[in-house]
A = this chain, B = another copy of it.
Amino acid sequence: MKAARLYGAKDVRVEEVSDLPLSGPNAVVEVEWCGICGSDLHFYLGGGVSGVELQDKCIMGHEICGRVVYAPPGSPVEQGQAVMVDPRIYCTSCSNCTKSRTNGCNVLRGLGVIGSSGGLSERVLVRPSMLYALPDSVDLSTAALIEPLAVAMHGVKLSGILQGDRDAATALILGGGPVGIGVVQVLRAFGVTKILVSEPSTARREYVQRFGVTAFDPLAVDVKTESLAATGQRGVDVVFDCAGAAAALKDGLGSLCFGGRYVNLALWETEIPLSLTELTRREIHLVGSCAYDDSDFKETVDALIEGKFTDLSSMVTARIPLDDIVTKGLNALLEEGEKHIKIMVNPKL
């Protein structure tokens, strides 16, 4: 079968690899669509992502939907079933897994990342328990968005905003890229409507406004002033950092209300100076949101099936064959990333 393997920095090759056995304890999924993630770009450029590394010559891709071509006895799904794949591989037995904190598994690996081949391939091996059945009503050409949406779901749940008055709460999202848009989608799906997005790119601001949010340019206006004006001078309840930039962090902290939550979903290349005294005087909760757990993934699948997300197809800005993964996928994202939200790859094209 064909698959995209990473040989080294900027060296991804689509080539023939061994077919997968239609036997044994793992299911085999024929990939319909696999999204390209920002972390895939980091891997492509030759860098790991916050300590996560790719195996040598690993088949990339972890945003995977497809159809089951082999299911071992006892699987929750049957052959032919359309499925979304939770790409995580956790141990089930460490101190975090046994507390349902599978996102903190002490030896966490993942399809297309550490330890197992991924979905930029015609077929992929998956633990049966990580397969989520998708009904015929779901459009498979957008279903792989479930994975990045689950990342956003976890951050939104950590923020506590769903436990408060969702009508009254205001969220500020720093960065209108794929992660920021995912957070917008999840917030809206769960009834939070007062959403501000701070994003310097005009194209991205114009795009994100279709979701009914207030988008502004942090290079042209003062983010704190905008945030206070939007909240009767109170400050926003939650900031989602989907930018990973020092200036945005300063804007975000300044915009929070007393007791507000700052949820980081961004990757940071270096340490950043923070005033713990300011955080303390204003009782700010700073929390890092790491991937997602089983319940986040399931709730995201359910929300997508129930049609709670808005205009998903607009988030897919290119659909390409696997053969074009480098030119029209990875390089396109690197060279003209602001034109894209999500590029989906289809090994059958």
Contact = CB atoms under 8 A, between A and B. Distances in A.
Interface of A: 50-51, 95-96, 101, 103-104, 158, 232-234, 241, 244, 257-259, 264-268, 271-290
Nearest to A269: B277
A96 B258 contact: yes
Contact of A288 (B104, B265, B282): B282
Contacts of A272: 273-276
Given A258-B96, A259-B104, A283 B288 contact: yes
Which of the listed residues A258, A265, A271, A275 has the most CB atoms from chain B within 10 Å of its own CB? A258
Report, nearest first, the 5 A-B pairs whose CB atoms are least far apart: A280-B288, A104-B258, A271-B273, A279-B288, A286-B286
A95 B290 CA distance: 32
A39 to B, nearest CB: 12
26 contacts: A51-B281, A95-B257, A101-B258, A103-B283, A104-B259, A104-B283, A158-B283, A264-B280, A266-B276, A266-B280, A267-B277, A267-B280, A268-B276, A268-B277, A272-B276, A273-B273, A276-B288, A277-B288, A281-B288, A281-B290, A282-B288, A282-B290, A283-B287, A283-B290, A285-B287, A286-B287
Contacts of A267: 277, 280
A288 B279 CA distance: 6
A255 B280 CA distance: 21
Contacts of A268: 275-277
A101 B259 contact: yes
> Which of A281, A284, A290 has the largest count of B CB atoms less than 10 A from its CB?
A281
Given A258-B104, A286-B287, A275 B281 contact: no
A268 B273 CA distance: 12
Nearest to A96: B258
Given A268-B277, A282-B290, 9 more contacts: A50-B278, A95-B233, A95-B257, A266-B276, A268-B276, A272-B275, A279-B286, A281-B288, A286-B286
Contact of A286 (B51, B95, B258, B285): B285
Looking at A96, A259, A277, A290, the one whose CB has the most chain B CB atoms below 10 A away is A277
B285 A285 contact: yes
Nearest to A244: B276
Nearest to A281: B50
Contacts of A103: 283
A122 to B, nearest CB: 32
A283 B277 contact: no
A285 B264 CA distance: 11
A174 B211 CA distance: 46
- Which of A50, A244, A284, A287 counts the most chain B CB atoms within 10 A? A287
A163 to B, nearest CB: 13
Nearest to A50: B277
Given A95-B234, A95-B257, A273-B271, A290 B286 contact: no
A271 B282 CA distance: 15
